[in-house]
C-alpha cells in the first residue's frame, strides 16, 4: 500500500516572491510540487524555475555522500568517505589553523542559496562566532540599497504589495518582474485595468518594459542623473509636496543644491533620453495619485549605486507619496520582520572582534589576506563572484583548505578538499520571511534527506561537536532555533510562534495593509525624520578599456547559478549568448550565431551572438550566470570587477565595459 503525504513548503531561493508550495511525497520520494492556491500573493502558480524542481531534486549532479578530493584541485576527482572520517579530518585541519595562524585565517563564504531563516543565518553564525573566524560581509546583492534606506528612512519598509492595484501611477525603476518577481505581474495588470499608468525606467527593453505603456531607456549607470533631474524639475516648478517635506523630512536645502546642476537638458545628454519624455515622467510623478515607486535591486549594482538609490528614493519623499495607501517607495519590506537575530546568531559567542572580509573581494582576500581555510555553503563563488580569474586562482591554491557543503557538484565544489551533501529545502524544517511581501511561513519536510545529506544547521552542529566545542548554543535543535527567532516583542510578530505555524503555516504580519509607512508608523532614524541629505557625489571609476557597456541581468530560467545545470535549461539555451543590438552587429560585421571573444583587462569569455532589440546600441547583454563547464572553464564573471560601490560596499557588476572580437564559426 502506497503512503502519500502532502506538506506545506516554501521556495527557498533568492527571490522577492517566497512562494508557498504544496509538496507530495509517496513512499519517501517527492513526487509533485505545486503552488498553494490559498496564498494571497503567490496564488497557486509557480515560476518557470520551480515548475522544474523535481528535475533539480533528482539531478545526477546531486551530492549524496561525503567526498574527499583525490586529484588536483578542479579535477573533479573524489572518493566517498564517511561523515565521521570527513568531520574528524576537517576538525583537525581547522584546529591546527586556529592554533598556528589564528581563527581569522578561517573564512566562511555563503549567501542566499537557501533563504530559509535557519539555513541562511543561524547555527552557522554561532559556529563561526564561537571559533573566532573572520566574518563575511555579505554585500554582493543588496548592500548599497539597504545602507541607503537605513540612512534615509531608518529601515527597509514600504507599502504592502497587496495594495498595489490601488496605485494609479507606478514607476518600475531598474526591475524586470516578468523574470524576477513574476507574482507582481498580476498585481500590476490589475492596477492597469483600474486605470494606472505604469512606467519602466531601464537601460534594457525588457519583457516588462514591452508589457507596459511607458519606457524610459536610459544609458547604463545614469540612474542618479535622471532621478536628480526629476527632483530638480519638481522643485523648480513648485510641484513637490511642501507640507510633507516640512513635516517629515530634513536635508531639503542640501538636496536642492545637489540636484541643481541637473536640468532636463543636462540629464537628457548624459542619459540618452528625450528631455520631453523626462518632463512627462516628472509631471506624472507630481500629479497622479496614489504614486508607487518600485525600484529593483538591479539598479544599485553599479559604481554610483548609493547615489542612484538615494536619488530615486528622494522622489518618494518630495512627492509626499507615502501619504496615500498604496503609495510610497517599495524597494524592500525586509525590516518589517522583527525576528530576534541576536538570539538566533549568538554574536556574544565571539570572544574578540572579528576581522571583516567583503564577499565582493573574495579573490583579493584569498590572495592577500592570509586565508588558510574556506568553508562554503549556500553559494557557488567560482561561478558567481566577480573577477573570476582571481577567485579561481585563490581556490586553486594548494595551501587553501576548502570545505563545501552543497547540494550539487558545482564549479566551487570541484576545488574542494571535502564536499559534504546538503539537504534540499523539501527535506528539512525551516522558517521563511520575504523581502517583498509580508507573510511568515513554515517549511515542513516532506521526506528525509536523500542519501546522507543534512541541513546547514545539522552540518554545523556536527562540525562543532567534532571540534570539541561544548557551548549548549551549538547543539540546539531546529525547533529551538525557530522559537528563538520568533522570541520577540515586535508587534508585527505578535502571536506568531512555532506552534501557531504548525497549525497555520502561512501567517501575515500583524500590520494593516492600509497602514502608511512613515506616516502611520514611526520613522526609525535617530531624529525621527526622513533624510534627504545627499549620499556622496558622482563617482568615476578607473578607466577600464572597452567600447561596450556590458550588462549581466537575471533571467527567468535561473537564479544566478542555481538551476543552470538543469538539462531542460541546457536544452533550451545550449550556448552562452551575447545579446547585441542589430545596429552594432551591422557596424561590426557580427552575424547571428557567430562566436565572439568578449574581453577586458580582467579576463575573457566566448559567447554566441544573438540579435536583440533589448539593448540599445553601445550596450551588450549576457544573462547571469552559467556554470563554468558551459564555457570551457569560464563565464561572464571573468569580466566583472571586485571594485566596491560608492556606499555600503556593494558589488559593481553593471559598471563593466568590454571589447569584442570575432572568432569565426
pLDDT digits (tens, 9 = 90+) for 541-587: 554 679 999 999 999 999 999 999 999 999 999 999 999 999 999 99
* pLDDT score of 541: 53
* pLDDT score of 504: 98
In three-state secondary structure terms, 615 is strand
pLDDT digits (tens, 9 = 90+) for 609-625: 999 999 999 999 999 99
* pLDDT score of 540: 61
* pLDDT score of 544: 60
Compute how many other C-beta atoms are within 10 angstroms of the C-beta atom of residue 580: 27
- Output phi, psi for 380, to 5 deg: -140, 65
Per-position b or e across 296-312, b if 16+ CB within 10 A of its CB:
bbbbbbbbbbbbbbbbb
Q: How far apart are the first and last CA of the chain?
A: 57
Q: What is d(CA 561, CA 402) in angstroms, rounded to the nearest whole number?
A: 20
pLDDT tops 90 at residue 86:
yes
Confidence of residue 200 (pLDDT cuts 50, 70, 90): very high
Using alpha carbons, select from 4, 36, 31 the residue that is nearest to residue 18: 36
pLDDT tops 80 at residue 113:
yes
Q: Mean pLDDT, the chain, as a whole number?
A: 96
Q: What is d(CA 446, CA 316) in angstroms, rounded to the nearest whole number?
A: 44
All three cell numbers of 570, joined, read 541546457
Confidence of residue 326 (pLDDT cuts 50, 70, 90): very high
* pLDDT score of 83: 98
pLDDT digits (tens, 9 = 90+) for 144-184: 999 999 999 999 999 999 999 999 999 999 999 999 999 99
The tally of CA atoms less than 13 A away on the side-chain side of residue 324 is: 23
Q: What is d(CA 281, CA 292) in angstroms, rounded to the nearest whole number?
A: 13
pTM of the predicted model as reported, rounded to 2 decimal places: 0.97
Using alpha carbons, select from 114, 103, 6, 108 the residue that is nearest to residue 432: 114
Helices 275-287 and 223-236: crossing angle, nearest 10°? Answer: 60
Q: What is d(CA 634, CA 105) in angstroms, rounded to the nearest whole number?
A: 28
* pLDDT score of 632: 84
- Identify whether the C-beta of residue 174 lies closer than 8 Å to the C-beta of residue 294: no
Q: What is d(CA 109, CA 133) in angstroms, rounded to the nearest whole number?
A: 11
Q: What is the mean pLDDT of residues 234-244?
A: 98
Q: What is d(CA 171, CA 176) in angstroms, rounded to the nearest whole number?
A: 12
All three cell numbers of 185, joined, read 505581474
pLDDT tops 60 at residue 34:
yes
Beta bridge partners of 207: none
| Beta strands 29-35 and 135-137, pairing class | unpaired
- Identify whether the C-beta of residue 154 lies closer than 8 Å to the C-beta of residue 525: yes
pLDDT digits (tens, 9 = 90+) for 124-143: 999 999 999 999 999 999 99
The tally of CA atoms less than 13 A away on the side-chain side of residue 602 is: 26
Q: What is d(CA 282, CA 94) in angstroms, rounded to the nearest whole number?
A: 58
* pLDDT score of 241: 98
Share of the chain above pLDDT 90, in %: 96
Classify residue 236 by burial, with Cβ atoms within 10 Å: 0-12, 13-18, 19+. Answer: middle
Share of the chain above pLDDT 70, in %: 99
The greatest distance separating any two alpha carbons of the chain, rounded to the nearest whole angstrom, comes to 76
pLDDT tops 70 at residue 522:
yes
Residue with cell 568615476: 540
Q: What is the mean pLDDT of residues 406-419?
A: 98
pLDDT digits (tens, 9 = 90+) for 333-390: 999 999 999 999 999 999 999 999 999 999 999 999 999 999 999 999 999 999 999 9
Q: What is d(CA 317, CA 308) in angstroms, rounded to the nearest whole number?
A: 15
pLDDT tops 60 at residue 26:
yes
pLDDT digits (tens, 9 = 90+) for 470-515: 999 999 999 999 999 999 999 999 999 999 999 999 999 999 999 9
Q: Which of 239-253, 290-304, 502-516, 538-552 has the lowest mean pLDDT?
A: 538-552
Do you know the residue count of the chain?
A: 665
Q: What is d(CA 187, CA 164) in angstroms, rounded to the nearest whole number?
A: 6
Q: What is the mean pLDDT of residues 596-617?
A: 97
Delineate the domains of the chain, giving CATH numbers in brackets.
4-57 (2.20.25.90), 67-140+340-424+451-475 (3.40.50.740), 144-331 (3.40.228.10), 548-664 (2.40.40.20)
Compute the 3-state secondary structure of the chain and give helix, strand, coil in percent, each to the nearest 5: 35, 20, 45
pLDDT tops 80 at residue 317:
yes
List the 214-216 sheet strands across, edge first.
Answer: 214-216, 197-201, 169-173, 291-295, 328-329
Q: What is d(CA 11, CA 3) in angstroms, rounded to the nearest whole number?
A: 24
* pLDDT score of 530: 98
Q: What is d(CA 331, CA 383) in angstroms, rounded to the nearest whole number?
A: 27
All three cell numbers of 22, joined, read 504544496
* pLDDT score of 500: 98
Amino acid at each position: 500500500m502506497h503512503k502519500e503525504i502532502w506538506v506545506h513548503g516554501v521556495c527557498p531561493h533568492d527571490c522577492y516572491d517566497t512562494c508557498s508550495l504544496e509538496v507530495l511525497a509517496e513512499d519517501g520520494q517527492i513526487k509533485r510540487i505545486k503552488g498553494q492556491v490559498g496564498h494571497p500573493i503567490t496564488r497557486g502558480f509557480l515560476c518557470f524555475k520551480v515548475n522544474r524542481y523535481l528535475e533539480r531534486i533528482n539531478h545526477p549532479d546531486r551530492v549524496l555522500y561525503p567526498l574527499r578530493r583525490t586529484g588536483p584541485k578542479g579535477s573533479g576527482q573524489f572518493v566517498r568517505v564517511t561523515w565521521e572520517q570527513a568531520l574528524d579530518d576537517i576538525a583537525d585541519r581547522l584546529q591546527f589553523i586556529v592554533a598556528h595562524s589564528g581563527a581569522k585565517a578561517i573564512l566562511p563564504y555563503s549567501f542566499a542559496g537557501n533563504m530559509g531563516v535557519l539555513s541562511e543565518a543561524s547555527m552557522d553564525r554561532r559556529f563561526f562566532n564561537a571559533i573566532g573566524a573572520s566574518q563575511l560581509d555579505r554585500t554582493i546583492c543588496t548592500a548599497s540599497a539597504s545602507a541607503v534606506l537605513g540612512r534615509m528612512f531608518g529601515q527597509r519598509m514600504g507599502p504592502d504589495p497587496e495594495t498595489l492595484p490601488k496605485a494609479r501611477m507606478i514607476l518600475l525603476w531598474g526591475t524586470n518582474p516578468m523574470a524576477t518577481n513574476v507574482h507582481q505581474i498580476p498585481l500590476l495588470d490589475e492596477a492597469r485595468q483600474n486605470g494606472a499608468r505604469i512606467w519602466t525606467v531601464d537601460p534594457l527593453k525588457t519583457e516588462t518594459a514591452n508589457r507596459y505603456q511607458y519606457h524610459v531607456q536610459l544609458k547604463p549607470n545614469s540612474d542618479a542623473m535622471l532621478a536628480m533631474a526629476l527632483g530638480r524639475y519638481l522643485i523648480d516648478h513648485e510641484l513637490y509636496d511642501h507640507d510633507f517635506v516640512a513635516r517629515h523630512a530634513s536635508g531639503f536645502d542640501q538636496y536642492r543644491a545637489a540636484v541643481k546642476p541637473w536640468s532636463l537638458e543636462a540629464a537628457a545628454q548624459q542619459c540618452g533620453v528625450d528631455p520631453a519624455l523626462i518632463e512627462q515622467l516628472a509631471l506624472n510623478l507630481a500629479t497622479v495619485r496614489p504614486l508607487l515607486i518600485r525600484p529593483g535591486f538591479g539598479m544599485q549594482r553599479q559604481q554610483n549605486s548609493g547615489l542612484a538609490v538615494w536619488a530615486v528614493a528622494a522622489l518618494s519623499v518630495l512627492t509626499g507619496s507615502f501619504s496615500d495607501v498604496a503609495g510610497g517607495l517599495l524597494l524592500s519590506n525586509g525590516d518589517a520582520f522583527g525576528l530576534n537575530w541576536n538570539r538566533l546568531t549568538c554574536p556574544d559567542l565571539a570572544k574578540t572582534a572579528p576581522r571583516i572580509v567583503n564577499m565582493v573581494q573574495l579573490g583579493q582576500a584569498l590572495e592577500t589576506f592570509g586565508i588558510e581555510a574556506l568553508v562554503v555553503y549556500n553559494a557557488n563563488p567560482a561561478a558567481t563572484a566577480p573577477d573570476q580569474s582571481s577567485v579561481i586562482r585563490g581556490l586553486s591554491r594548494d595551501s587553501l583548505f576548502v570545505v563545501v557543503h552543497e547540494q550539487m557538484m558545482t564549479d566551487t565544489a570541484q576545488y574542494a578538499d571535502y564536499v559534504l551533501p546538503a539537504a534540499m529545502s523539501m527535506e528539512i524544517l525551516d522558517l521563511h520571511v520575504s523581502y517583498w511581501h509580508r507573510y511568515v511561513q513554515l517549511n515542513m519536510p516532506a521526506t528525509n534527506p536523500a542519501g546522507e545529506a543534512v541541513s546547514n544547521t545539522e552540518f554545523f552542529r556536527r562540525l562543532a561537536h567534532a571540534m570539541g566545542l561544548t557551548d549548549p548554543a551549538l547543539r540546539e535543535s531546529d525547533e529551538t532555533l525557530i522559537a528563538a527567532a520568533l522570541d520577540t516583542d515586535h508587534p508585527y510578530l505578535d502571536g506568531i510562534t512555532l506552534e501557531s505555524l504548525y497549525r497555520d503555516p502561512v501567517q501575515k504580519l500583524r500590520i494593516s495593509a492600509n497602514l502608511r509607512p512613515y506616516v502611520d508608523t514611526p520613522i526609525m532614524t535617530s531624529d525621527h525624520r526622513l533624510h534627504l541629505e545627499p549620499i556622496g557625489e558622482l563617482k568615476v571609476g578607473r578607466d577600464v578599456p572597452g567600447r561596450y557597456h556590458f550588462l549581466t541581468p537575471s533571467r527567468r530560467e535561473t537564479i544566478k547559478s542555481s538551476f543552470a545545470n538543469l538539462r531542460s535549461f541546457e536544452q533550451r539555451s545550449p550556448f552562452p549568448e551575447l545579446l547585441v543590438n542589430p545596429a552594432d552587429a551591422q557596424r561590426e560585421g557580427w552575424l547571428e550565431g557567430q562566436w565572439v571573444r568578449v574581453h577586458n583587462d580582467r579576463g575573457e569569455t566566448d559567447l554566441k551572438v544573438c540579435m536583440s532589440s533589448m539593448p540599445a546600441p553601445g550596450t551588450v547583454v549576457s544573462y547571469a550566470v552559467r556554470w563554468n563547464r558551459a564555457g570551457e572553464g569560464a563565464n561572464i564573471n571573468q569580466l566583472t570587477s571586485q571594485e566596491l560601490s560608492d556606499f555600503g560596499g556593494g558589488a559593481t557588476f553593471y559598471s563593466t565595459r568590454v571589447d569584442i572580437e570575432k572568432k569565426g564559426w
